[in-house]
């Protein structure tokens, strides 16, 4: 139902999909996953402050863009690639540990220069 709604609302309604319930269910799943990740982040770093979600948000956004917006496989590959680069960079070059976020964003720019839609992104007709 979610995939049908992402393509066309009217056709999904004609096929008998309850649009309002599907949208509410989608937001419930997204909110539950965000709450779970916030709980896990707060357990790892036991302090509460207003901007505590900015750092993982940047990483998740970067992973999604590297993989390709709209591609679940791309987001998975982008997240794994981002994690591997982060850990291997610190393992092989410990003196560059303070620059790992900058290096990740340089990697993002390099990938977007070669493939503007990400690794698994779809080509647009524009």
Residue 24, pLDDT score:
94
68 close to 117: Cβ distance less than 8 angstroms? yes
DSSP state string for 44-68: HS----TTTTHHHHHHHHHHHHHH-
Mean pLDDT to the nearest integer, 104-116: 90
Q: Where does the pLDDT of residue 37 fall: very low under 50, low under 70, confident under 90, or very high at 90 and above?
A: confident
Is pLDDT at 25 greater than 90 in this prediction? yes
- Separation of alpha carbons 104 and 88, rounded Å: 12
Among residues of the chain, what percentage have pLDDT more than 90? 29
Number of H helices, E strands in the chain: 6, 0
Residue 125, pLDDT score:
59
Residue 126, pLDDT score:
55
Is pLDDT at 96 greater than 90 in this prediction? no
Q: Where does the pLDDT of residue 8 fall: very low under 50, low under 70, confident under 90, or very high at 90 and above?
A: confident
- Separation of alpha carbons 7 and 9, rounded Å: 7
Residue 47, pLDDT score:
81
Q: Where does the pLDDT of residue 123 fall: very low under 50, low under 70, confident under 90, or very high at 90 and above?
A: low
Is the overall model pTM greater than 0.75, yes or no?
no
Residue 109, pLDDT score:
93
Angle at 73 between CA 68 and CA 79, to 5 degrees: 70
């Amino acid at each position: 139902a979610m995939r049908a709604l992402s393509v066309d609302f009217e056709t999904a309604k004609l096929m008998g999909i309850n649009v309002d319930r599907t949208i509410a269910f989608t937001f419930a799943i997204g909110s539950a996953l965000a709450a779970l990740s916030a709980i896990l982040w707060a357990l790892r770093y036991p302090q509460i402050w207003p901007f505590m979600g900015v750092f993982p948000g940047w990483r998740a956004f970067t992973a999604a863009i590297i993989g390709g917006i709209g591609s679940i496989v791309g987001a998975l590959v982008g997240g794994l690639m981002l994690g591997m680069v982060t850990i291997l960079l610190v393992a092989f070059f410990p003196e560059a540990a303070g620059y790992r976020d900058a290096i990740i964003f340089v990697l993002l720019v390099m990938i977007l220069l070669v493939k503007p839609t990400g690794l698994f992104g779809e080509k647009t007709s524009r």
